[in-house]
Amino acid sequence: MPTATLEPADSIRAAGLRVTTQRLAVLGALENMPHADADAIHRRVRSTQPDISLQSVYVVLGALTDAGLLRRIEPAGSPARYERRIGDNHHHAICTGCGAVQDVDCAVGHAPCLTPAPPAPLPGTGTGTGAGTGDVAGFRITTAEVTYWGLCPACQHLPASHPDKKENA
Amino acid sequence: MPTATLEPADSIRAAGLRVTTQRLAVLGALENMPHADADAIHRRVRSTQPDISLQSVYVVLGALTDAGLLRRIEPAGSPARYERRIGDNHHHAICTGCGAVQDVDCAVGHAPCLTPAPPAPLPGTGTGTGAGTGDVAGFRITTAEVTYWGLCPACQHLPASHPDKKENA
DNA sequence: GCACTTGTTGTGAGTGATTCATAATAAGGA
DNA sequence: TCCTTATTATGAATCACTCACAACAAGTGC
């Protein structure tokens, strides 16, 4: 039994949290719509729990995120999104046209972004101080986040008719 | 290649914008405090222009960003920050303790995060200008953004307190 | 130097996303 | 089943930012 496909109720319990219908509903919603934002999750959850409020969804999302059951990503210029895929250090490609988010496995295979210090040390000039393992500019790095910005396949074929998203170079 | 060594007034003019005292003040403020947010910039600018409003600072920042004179970064969980270092594809290390931001040159040297597909033979001459367009999950990638999260040197030596709120001045 | 055009700024209100405070409710152990 | 305490519901509040529009001033022509 793969650990990642634990029953939602079990994973909630395993995290030391109480199992509630709201939390199950939120996890269930994210099962079908990865990278959804709070509002989308709220709409989806309301189909089974019409009385749940958006604020309660926020509370649930916060609790599940704190417990490590969800990962929260915050693309620049768009509301926070949540995903169930946790535990690996995958990255994200975000469409500047429609805002779609796609998981991207670290294709290089050895988490290069997590340990940016190359085998040969940097010349310690200017901003680049000598870096040890997991150290960047004197920082003790714990996480590296890579976001690719571009056009999704669908938007590549559109005549640039989605101006709702700003492109900051 | 309009470098940052241009006089602020010249770079504003070169971008096709009118030179105003407000814009000069904002650029001047960012000269001394890289990675400042709008509020910090506003406070700094008010020392020379006491009547400028925060909204006007936002307008100026937006104009300068659109003109390519500033780069806007939006770390998760903190307001947008602005920096004058543009034109290169450097990354950022952000302290989870105090929110400090540090520039990080692409340590691997050949923009690995921009072209994660292993067989793609990217000419290393670009040095991370963001010009390479790789394909990730069908996306046509134009920009790759790398954010390292960790503890800055100062916060590494502090007892494990999480203020979570930073004051950058 | 002066008037004019038009880009910029100032101002207050408005918006979207998220959090806070607190009372009501329900999950899970005794 | 009861009881404790985690969890949810609710409305207000906050935070970062944008909008509309009138007032102003930078740059241009004379």
Chain segment B10-39, per-residue pLDDT in tens: 889 988 899 999 999 999 999 989 899 999
Instruction: Give me the domain span that covers residue B120.
Output: 91-156
Which pair of tokens denotes residue A65? 């995120």
* Chosen domain end from B47, B66, B83: B83
What gap in Å lies between CA B18 and CA B1, rounded to an integer? 20
A101 touches B: beta carbon within 8 Å: no
The helix or strand, by DSSP H or E, that contains position B63, with its residue range, turns out to be helix B54-66
Per-residue pLDDT of A123-166, as tens digits, reads 333 333 333 346 777 888 888 888 988 888 888 887 654 433 33
The pLDDT assigned to B159 comes to 61
DSSP codes of every residue in chain A: --GGG--HHHHHHHTT----HHHHHHHHHHHHSTTEEHHHHHHHHHTT-TT--HHHHHHHHHHHHHTTSSEEE--TTS--EEES--SS--EEEEETTT--EEEE--TTSS-TTTS---SSPPP--TT-----TTEETTEEEEEEEEEEEEE-HHHHTS-S--TTS----
Task: Specify whether B96 is located in the same domain as B151.
Answer: yes
The pLDDT assigned to A51 comes to 86
For the segment 76-115 of chain A, residues whose CB is within 7 A of strand C: 79-80
- Mean pLDDT for B70-76 is 92
The stretches in chain A having pLDDT less than 50 are: 1-4, 108-113, 116-133, 161-169
Q: B102 or A4: which carries more pLDDT confidence? A: B102
Cβ of B22 near strand C (distance < 7 A):
yes
A132 touches B: beta carbon within 8 Å: no
The pLDDT assigned to B138 comes to 83
Give the list of residues 6+ apart from residue B158 with CB closer than 8 angstroms, or none. Answer: B97
B152 touches A: beta carbon within 8 Å: yes
Which pair of tokens denotes residue A125? 């000039």
Into how many domains does chain B fold?
2
Under DSSP, the state recorded for B27 is H
Task: Specify whether B52 is located in the same domain as B75.
Answer: yes
Task: Specify whether B129 is located in the same domain as B151.
Answer: yes
Which one, of B124, B160, B112, B117, lies nearest residue B140 by Cα? B117
Would B167 be classed as within a structural domain? no
Q: Which nucleotides of C are covered by protein (CB under 7 A)?
A: 7-13, 16-21, 26-28
What gap in Å lies between CA B159 and CA B149, rounded to an integer? 18
Most confidently modeled range among A55-64, B4-13, B115-124: A55-64
Asked if residue B9 has pLDDT above 50, the reply is yes
What gap in Å lies between CA B58 and CA A42, rounded to an integer? 32
Residue A18: CATH number of its domain:
1.10.10.10
Task: Specify whether B14 is located in the same domain as B76.
Answer: yes
Parallel/antiparallel/unpaired status of strands B91-95 and B139-151: parallel
Task: Specify whether B105 is located in the same domain as B79.
Answer: no
Are the beta carbons of B116 and A108 separated by less than 8 Å? yes
Among the partner residues B93, B137, B149, nearest to A102 by beta-carbon distance: B137
